[in-house]
Amino acid sequence: EKIDKMSSEVVDSNPYSRLMALKKMGIVNNYEDIKNQSVIIVGLGGIGSVAAEMLTRCGVGKLLLFDYDTVEIANMNRLFFRPDQAGLSKTKAAEQTLQHINPDVSFETYNYNITTIDSFEHFKSRIEKGGIVPDTPVSLVLGCVDNFEARTAINQACLELNRSWMESGVSENAISGHIQFIVPGETACFQCVPPLIVASGIDERTLKREGVCAASLPTTMGIVAGMLIQNTLKYLLKFGEVSYLLGYNALLDYFPKDNIKPNPECSNSICVKQQKAYQEYLKSLPPPVAVV
């Protein structure tokens, strides 16, 4: 009898009531603010498509999706896309499904390669002007791509525009992954530490080699997508502690955590410039008041 009463209290026609319960429980003070947030996702593969679905189900205000590829039957070992979507662009197929799941989310989709000169400029303009209020920046950029060139392009765009972003990846053998929160000038950028992570034991093969057929596990990709969107929600709604670098090693169930300082000798000159600006900003802060 008691159980019946509880379940009828929990069941509610508003799909967001359980998310709003986070507020009642004191975890997130401003959950409804998710509606005012806009997120760019570059890459709708094993991580990005699942990340997009998570944000859609959380009630994000706007998603801007970028991918140059089409859905293939070979992708069915991942989550999200369905066999009947084979042949559609990943961006259109994703918009279709996500719009149906949550009609309150607004979408922009771009089926192009972000690394070509013209597309890169357009991609940058969407970071700068694609926010919910027209001509304002998006809240956050998520990198869910599988190659060095695309990661470097996202890094370059975000450094130029001084916008924070999160990078993610899964290793070729599918048994490890990472997410990295990059704040221009304040944390290491994607180009600051070329052989990604030595100290924390994250597999540098996360950076895909050309011509090698990568393995794929929907489990690892789903876990990394979950880590990425958990960090995104914490950043956007300001609760808990945002991780700068979080790894996942599936064989050991080991989650290394780190915060990498920017490299003053970074090969990207804008990164170096942003580092100097950040140091100036730190100097301009009033000295800390002693607590008696």
In the complex, least distance from residue 276 CB atom to Zn ion, rounded to whole angstroms: 12
What element of type H or E holds 272?
Answer: helix 269-284
Residue number with CB closer to Zn ion (52 or 266): 266
Query: Which of the choices ligand ATP, Zn ion, none does residue 90 contact, using the CB cut-off of 5 to 8 A by kind?
Result: ligand ATP
* Angstrom distance (rounded) from CA 267 to CA 213: 30
Please state the closest distance from residue 133 (CB atom) to ligand ATP, in A: 26
In 3D, which of 71, 96, 81 has the Cα closest to residue 50? 81
C-alpha–C-alpha distance, residues 154 and 166, integer Å: 10
Find tokens 């958990």 and name the residue: 230
Q: Which one of 107-115, 117-125, 160-168, 270-278 is the stretch in contact with Zn ion (CB under 5 A)?
A: 270-278
Give the C-alpha separation, 232 to 226, whole Å: 10
Residues of this chain that bind ligand ATP (CB under 6 A): 43-46, 66-69, 75, 90, 113-115, 145-147, 150, 214, 216
- Burial string for 30-63 (b: 16+ CB within 10 Å, else e) reads ebeebeebbbbbbbbbbbbbbbbbbbbbbbbbbb
Q: CB of 185: closest distance to Zn ion in angstroms?
A: 9
Distances in Å between the Cα of 48 and the Cα atoms of 55, 91, 220 are: 11, 11, 13
Neighbouring C-beta atoms of residue 231, cutoff 10 Å: 23
Q: Near Zn ion by CB under 5 A, which window of 45-53, 130-138, 186-194, 249-257?
A: 186-194
| Nearest residue (CB) to ligand ATP, 209 versus 257 | 209
Residue window 130-169: x/- pattern of binding to Zn ion, with contact defined by CB under 5 A: ----------------------------------------
Cβ–Cβ < 8 Å for 31, 22:
yes
**192 in contact with Zn ion (CB under 5 A):** yes
Contact flag: residue 246 with Zn ion (CB under 5 A): no
Query: Could you tell which of ligand ATP, Zn ion, none binds residue 214, using a CB distance below 5 to 8 A set by kind?
Result: ligand ATP
- Residue 192 binding: pick among Zn ion, ligand ATP, none (C-beta 5-8 Å cut-off by kind): Zn ion
Packing angle of the helix pair 48-58, 218-237 (nearest 10 deg):
40
Q: Whole-number minimum distance, CB 145 to ligand ATP, in Å? A: 4
Closer CB to ligand ATP, 95 or 146, in the complex: 146
* Residue 196 interacting with Zn ion (CB under 5 A): no
Residues that bind Zn ion (CB under 5 A): 189, 191-192, 266, 268, 271
